[in-house]
Amino acid sequence: MINRKILEITPYQPGKPIEEVKRQLGLKEVIKLASNENPLGPSPKAVLAIKKSLTKINRYPEGSCFYLRQRLSKKLKVRPENLIFGNGSDELIDIVIKAFCEPDDEIITADTTFLEYRIIALQNGRAVRCIPLKDFRYDLARIKDRIGPKTKAIFIANPNNPTGTYVTKREVDDFLNGLPENVVAIFDQAYLEFVENKDFPLSLNYFRQGKNVIILRTFSKIYGLAGLRIGYGIAREEFIQYMERARQPFNVNTLAQEAALAALDDTVFIRKAQRAVREGKKYLYGELDRLKINYIPSAANFILIDLKRDGLKIFNKLLKEGVIVRDMQQYGLNNFIRVTIGREKENKKFVAALKKVLS
């Protein structure tokens, strides 16, 4: 009875929730550094906006995200018609695949990247080709080489999750130059706001040049709204119109719209979150260096750590110390763990727990 494509899917295993770990291990204090969330909480302006709009939830949300669309279009200097909103950027991945890929079409991505590209493609019955990373980075030259007559969409997480690495402006320029006209490149920029590297590409420029690109962004990371589920896409109007056909009418809830609108303007909160990640990263790099533990330098708010021993075992031991990180079995990186940069106290707790379980 079951769709054969569904049989190929291993369900996505998210980071363990704090309450679940407390319940299962009988712990009182647990910290979560597992899902690249904002450890400072949501933007206070967003919380206030949600409180004010609570009485509106008897009504369906405004499907067009009107006010958020207007505000974001001004901020990004794009037209309102160039934007689409989703129930997290996860949903936009689904919408892109539904709008662009027919049953015979092929989707390309990396083999060690955000797992949802492959999972959502399979859920939609689409074939996926996964190209190995090179030195933990997307190998855009090899991906371009592998484009065939059936290739329709290419998903590129930049920065990449779980490695924290990124592809440079020059690499993306070369990649897009001469890309076949019937192929769309999707740049997933969930971690954009954490990037400080000078050679990181300004993806909006490729959109402005009229290239076949779709840019995906989210309110789940720097804006601290992961629990509300809201993300957006930027593309040329024609693409957006087709994607709108694959969108459910009330996909973004009222509270998410109000919170995102308020969070967009909370520059004080955003700067604070950026500073926390910058300082936390410096601290964690220093401690890992002292412990002589290898890690992949990250442009995002998490670090992929090479323990050179069974990562799942260390993950389980850290859980018992009340620290949730992410084991990397799903990604085939068995000797690694990924840790999200937390608040100062959380980073210290992680380092103390890591020292303890490694000794």
**Nearest-CA neighbor of 257 among 234, 223, 287?**
223
Q: What region, left, alpha or beta, does residue 328 occupy, with left being phi > 0 and alpha being psi -120 to 50 degrees?
A: alpha
Q: Is 357 in the site for ligand PLP (CB under 6 A)?
A: no
Establish if 114 lies at the interface with ligand PLP (CB under 6 A).
yes
Residue 38 lies near ligand PLP (rule: CB under 6 A)? no
Shortest distance in whole angstroms from residue 216 CB to ligand PLP? 7
CB of 134 to ligand PLP, least distance (A): 19
Binding mask 262-281 for ligand PLP (x = CB under 6 A): --------------------
158 forms part of the interface with ligand PLP (CB under 6 A): no
**Residue 300 CB, nearest distance to ligand PLP (Å)?**
8
In the chain, what is the greatest distance between 2 CA atoms, to the nearest angstrom? 58
Nearer Cβ to ligand PLP (252/357): 252
Alpha helices in the chain (DSSP H): 4-7, 18-25, 44-53, 66-76, 88-100, 116-123, 140-145, 169-176, 203-208, 237-245, 254-264, 267-290, 311-320, 344-358
CA distances from 233 to 82, 83, 110, 188 (A): 8, 6, 21, 9
Distance CA 188, CA 173 (A): 16
Q: Which of 188, 321, 327, 346 binds ligand PLP (CB under 6 A)?
A: 188
197-234 residues labelled b (16+ CB within 10 A) or e (exposed): eeebbebbebbeeebbbbbbbbbbbbbbbbebbbbbbb
Our CB check for ligand PLP shows the closer of 39 and 88 to be 88
Among 82, 89, 112, 340, binds ligand PLP (CB under 6 A): 89
- The C-alpha R_g of the chain, in whole angstroms, comes to 20
CB 277 → ligand PLP: shortest distance, Å? 15
Using CB atoms within 10 Å of the CB of residue 148, give its burial: 0 to 12 exposed, 13 to 18 middle, 19+ buried.
exposed
CA neighbours closer than 13 Å in the CB half-sphere of residue 131: 20
Q: With contacts defined by CB under 6 A, how many residues of the chain interact with ligand PLP?
A: 13
Q: Does 226 bind ligand PLP (CB under 6 A)?
A: yes
Beta carbon nearer to ligand PLP, 9 or 226 = 226
Query: Rule CB under 6 A: is residue 322 a binding residue for ligand PLP?
Result: no
Stretch that binds ligand PLP, among 83-91, 142-150, 197-205, 275-283 (CB under 6 A): 83-91
The answer to the question of residue 231 lying near ligand PLP (CB under 6 A) is yes
Compute the least distance from the CB of residue 89 to ligand PLP, in Å. Answer: 4
Scanning 168-176, 218-226, 244-252, 314-322 for contacts with ligand PLP by CB under 6 A, the matching segment is 218-226
Edge-first strand order for the sheet with 231-234 is 83-86, 231-234, 213-218, 184-188, 151-157, 106-110, 127-131
> Which sign does the torsion angle of CA 248, 231, 342, 165 carry?
positive
Residue closer to ligand PLP by CB (options 36, 43) is 36
The three-state secondary structure class of 261 is helix
In terms of CB distance, is 38 or 89 closer to ligand PLP?
89
Tokens of 128: 């996926």
Closest CB to ligand PLP: residue number = 88
Least separation, in Å, of the C-beta of 256 and ligand PLP?
11
Q: Which of 39, 42, 61, 88 binds ligand PLP (CB under 6 A)?
A: 88
Name the site residues for ligand PLP (rule: CB under 6 A). Answer: 36, 88-90, 114, 157, 161, 188, 190, 218, 220, 226, 231
